[in-house]
Each structure stands twice: as C-alpha cells, then as structure tokens.
Amino acid sequence: MERAQLVKQIFGRRSVLCVGLDTDLNKIPRHLLREADPGFSFNKAIIDATKEYTVAYKINTAFYEAQGIRGWESLQRTLEYIPEDIFTIADAKRGDIGNTADQYAKTFFETYPFDSVTVAPYMGSDSVKPFLQRKDKWAIVLGLTSNAGSADFQLQQCGSELLYEKVLRAVASWGSPDNLMFVIGATRKEQLQHVRQMLPDHFFLVPGVGAQGGDVPTVCGNAMNKDGGVLINVSRGVIYASNGEDFADEAAKAAKAYRDEMAVYL
C-alpha cells in the first residue's frame, strides 16, 4: 500500500486505529474451540466487527508460529480475509542479514503478501535494506519501545546522544517516509514529542495504548503530523473486550470508542 492510500484511509475513516490480532487460543471464547480453525473463526468475527473503525491490522506471528502448520494456515486465512483497503502488518520482528533477510522479505511480502513487516535493526543496514526494495511495501523498524527492558540498551548514552536516537537517525537515512516506519512506544509524552521533532515525516507504529498504560490523547496530541503519522495499536483492549459469545459486539464497541477518541485529532 502506498503512503497516499494509507493517508486517504486515515482521513476517510477518521481513525489511526490498528487492531492487533494477537490471537491466543487460551484466551478466545471457549465455544470457538469447537470450530475447525478456532483462531481464524475468532479473527474473522473480530475483523467483521472492527473493520469500519480501523485502518490497519497487525498480526503478531508468534501466536501463529507456536501452533505449527495449523497456525500458519490460520495466519494465511486471516490475511486473505482482511479487506484490501486496510493496511496489514506482519509483526514478526525479523533481524538478519544477506540471503536470510532476503528470504524473510520474500516470506512476508510475497508468500504472505503483507503491506509491512516489523524489523529489528541491531545488525545494521544489512538487516533492514532488504525490506526496502519492493514497491508499496514497508519496513517498520524498532525504534523506542515502552517495555521495562528498553533501558538496558535503548536509553544508554552513546557519544553525544542516546542509543535509540542514533538508531533512528541512521535507519531514517536508509529509506524514506514512503517505505519506512518506526515502532515508538506510547507511554511518555516527552519522548513522543522528541521523536516527532527528530522525524517529522515518518509514520510511527505506536504500541502501549490500553493494557500497557498509554492513551490516545497523549499519542495523538504529541506524535501526529499533517498526514496523521501514527498507527495506534490496540490488541487486548479490543479483541478481548469480552470472552463470552458477545465478544465480537464488545470488540466493535471498543474499536468505535478508540476511533471516536482519535477522530477529534483528524
């Protein structure tokens, strides 16, 4: 998906919501376990309930890989079911070099034709550039995360700047705002402001809203740009809004509530 198409969806739906399909078979409603493919049955109902309010779906591949071949089949069915005008993210956090990185890019851009894939930049440009070679495909690079362990490396001094700042500046030079996004955690206003000043044009995938303590006004008020510029991911707060037979209806209500919060800023 081209940037212009994504921006059109954002302003057309007045939403920057990304629904995370972190589908755990231990958490979905019990009645779905009788289905031939419980994960896909759950995802299908969630997509039907939320597609009016979201501009992106993020599939965390770990929840599918853990099931072996059945999980990959469920992932494929889910990806094929997502409407074509909604941006798709393979949250795979791949990070290798050379032919291996090329094969990962082929996996998530061709075999499973996602619009984007999350990438870890620790090994340098060799681990990111293979994901920047295809038209209308995006690399979403880990930049500044909100987990407790982020302080171990990301917030360490590295010369005249913090390590995450050095990473953001370097990676931004390898691509463009048309094919490169960054994962930026949602929990601290000052950090969101600072990263937006560093990268005025790039899109940010922002986790941490909802169950992890972040909120929509903090993100939208401090990280948006003229194109929207953020995709706010919410997983548990939408897909597990209920664990009963009304799970899809409750997911729709949660997604609409988030969309309505976001619409004020668009």
Q: How far apart are CA 29 and CA 48, in angstroms?
A: 16
H or E segment and range at residue 111? none
Q: Could you count the other beta carbons within 10 Å of the beta carbon of residue 70? A: 14
Phi, psi of 143 (to 5 degrees): -115, -70
Q: Give the active site residue among 8, 93, 253, 256.
A: 93
Look up residue 59 and give its DSSP letter.
E
Contact in structure between 141 and 174 (CB atoms under 8 Å): no
DSSP single-letter state for residue 247: H
Instruction: Tell how strand 161-162 and strand 116-119 pair up.
Output: unpaired
Please provide the size of the chain in residues.
266
- Classified as helix, coil or strand, 94 is strand
What is the bridge-based pairing of β-strands 180-184 and 138-144? parallel
Classified as helix, coil or strand, 112 is coil
The answer to whether 18 and 194 have CB atoms below 8 angstroms apart is no
- Any bridge partners for residue 157, and if so which? 162
Residues 54 and 31: their CA atoms lie apart, in Å, by 26
**3-state secondary structure at position 87:** strand
SS3 228: strand
- 93: annotated active-site residue: yes
**Which residues participate in catalysis according to the annotation?**
93
